[in-house]
A and B are shown apart, each in its own frame.
Chain A
Amino acid sequence: MPDRHIDYVAVKKTRMARNAGRDAEQKPMAGGDAKLHSPLGLLAELTHRCPLGCPYCSNPLALDPRSEELDTQTWARVFKEAAGLGVLQVHLSGGEPGARRDLVEITAAAHASGLYTNLITSAVGITAATLHKLAECGLDHVQISIQDSEEKSADHIAGYQGAFARKRALAATVVDLKIPLTVNAVMHRANIDHLEDMVALALALGASRVEIAHAQYYGWALKNRSALMPTEEQVRRAAATVEELRRKHHGEIVIDAVVPDYHARLPKPCVGGWGRRSLNVTPSGKVLPCHAAESIPGLEFWSVREHALADIWAHSPAFKAFRGTDWMREPCLSCARRDIDFGGCRCQAFALTGDARATDPVCHLAPGHDIVQRLAAVQDDVPYAYRRQ
């Protein structure tokens, strides 16, 4: 699955017209807990099946089998409930969503609920004919992952011969249909030096947006961490290249990029705060605050098979576990940034320290920060453990 960055920007103006990059401030839901906001985005993991084997995949190692996947009608109900809860955008993802034979019906149902529909795909398994049908039933945006700027390397990283050519072909169809295209470029040691070529490729494909998504170490990516980890020098060069390319292509293509976790001093505001802006429904129907949340032991997740989405959002133990700031300890508790980055990522805190309530060790103030620095220096050219079901 490609990496996801959702951030919310406000069109705000001091005079009549200035566009400021500010978080959309939300009013809490009427009558509810002051900390309970309406979610803005729903990540719908339609399936864990995927023809590609990308070693940076953030899906869990234990993938949901096809036999446990939610059916079309249940997804349609989930979308209706999501829209009722205030969700604006649904990200149809996976796995590879094209592996679902009912992808067109699912997309149509999401559109009919009034949701903005975003298809996140590897492009392998979606034909031009399917894309035409998706366009007709209201698909708003397509994101295609690209593994490298060069075919041989791209197919090697994807673990799938011929993937690169199919991505190029589907991207062309997306652009022909006048659907906006984002290229998602997951960066790691093998391709980070090709960043400029990847942006050039995104431009050539007609993308209006490119995500420079540094691999984040969850699921399969965690397993492959030392094989993927870029060097400090590569990361530094990549950041400078992004700045240069943004200037060069201003107005042509939007380049979104964040500093890779293990090389940062400040943690990311993971999913915009736990149980605050987004939710994730797994192929089998479990509702998670983020796609990696099942890696934290002891959390109780509720399923859309048994509960309404609004009930899950407000009351499921997993959502309440780290919502707000009450769960925090020092140094987060008294930190001036606690409402900005929410203590970072809970899954990462658990993965690296064994304690999900700890400060994300990416933070330079975290007692465990040296762990991250040590791991960032481990580069090991072992073969990839490809993601396979």
Chain B
Amino acid sequence: MNEAASVIAADARPRLPRGVRLVHNEAQGGWVLLAPERVFKADAISVEVLKRCTGEATFAAIVNDLAEAFKAPRERIQADVTTMLRGLADKRLLEL
């Protein structure tokens, strides 16, 4: 992956495209991301990130919000969320 691809613009508005849905399912033990012929089990932190990917909040706002909610350094949150969202976008599971 080149360097440009590993950066997400501050004003990007990440969202789940049609055909990708985050749902809670008791029988399957919690939150899952449903995608074309795939089921991704989402852990507690990724759920917090995904819930904010509404297409309305900007990437910068999401990072600020998470840094505040989790009392963690903004730079680290930004790096981790970038890796996660970029990974999902590469699999066509997220629009940036």
Contact = CB atoms under 8 A, between A and B. Distances in A.
A141 B92 CA distance: 13
Interface string A1-22: 0001111111111011111000
Nearest to A115: B34
A26 B28 CA distance: 6
B32 interface: yes
B29 A209 contact: no
A182 B82 CA distance: 26
Contact of B34 (A5, A88, A143, A254): A88
Tell me whether chain A's interface is mostly helix, strand or loop, or mixed.
loop
Interface residues of B, number: 40
A24 interface: yes
Contact of A140 (B1, B19, B28, B87): B19
Nearest to B72: A16
A8 B39 contact: yes
A251 B6 CA distance: 12
A116 to B, nearest CB: 4
A216 interface: no
B80 A16 contact: yes
A13 B21 contact: no
A253 B92 CA distance: 7
Interface string A89-114: 10100000000000000000000001
Given A140-B21, A251-B5, A88 B38 contact: no
A86 B28 contact: yes
Contact of B23 (A13, A15, A88, A182): A88
A209 B28 CA distance: 25
Contact of A89 (B39, B41, B90): B39
A94 B3 CA distance: 45
Tell me whether chain B's interface is mostly helix, strand or loop, or mixed.
mixed
B9 interface: no
Contact of A29 (B21, B27, B40, B79): B27
Given A7-B38, A24-B39, A143-B37, A17 B83 contact: yes
Given A15-B80, A19-B87, A25 B41 contact: yes
Contact of B27 (A16, A18, A85): A85
Given A16-B84, A38-B28, A180-B19, A11 B33 contact: yes
Interface size class of A (residues with CB under 8 A): 35 or more
Contact of A13 (B1, B33, B43, B92): B43
Interface in A10-64: 10-13, 15-19, 24-27, 29, 38, 40-41
B37 A141 contact: yes
A8 B36 CA distance: 11
A21 to B, nearest CB: 10
A141 B19 contact: yes
A329 interface: no
Nearest to B26: A86
Nearest to A250: B90
A17 B36 contact: no
Nearest to B47: A11
A4 B36 CA distance: 12
A314 interface: no
B12 interface: no
10 contacts: A12-B43, A17-B83, A18-B83, A25-B41, A86-B27, A114-B23, A140-B19, A180-B18, A180-B92, A250-B90
Interface of A: 4-13, 15-19, 24-27, 29, 38, 40-41, 85-86, 88-89, 91, 114, 116, 118, 140-141, 143, 178-180, 182, 208-209, 250-251, 253-254
The 8 closest A-B CB pairs, nearest first, are A86-B27, A16-B80, A17-B84, A180-B19, A17-B80, A24-B41, A19-B87, A208-B92
Given A26-B28, A29-B27, A89-B34, 14 more contacts: A6-B37, A10-B41, A10-B43, A11-B40, A13-B43, A16-B81, A17-B81, A17-B87, A19-B91, A24-B28, A116-B21, A140-B18, A250-B1, A253-B92
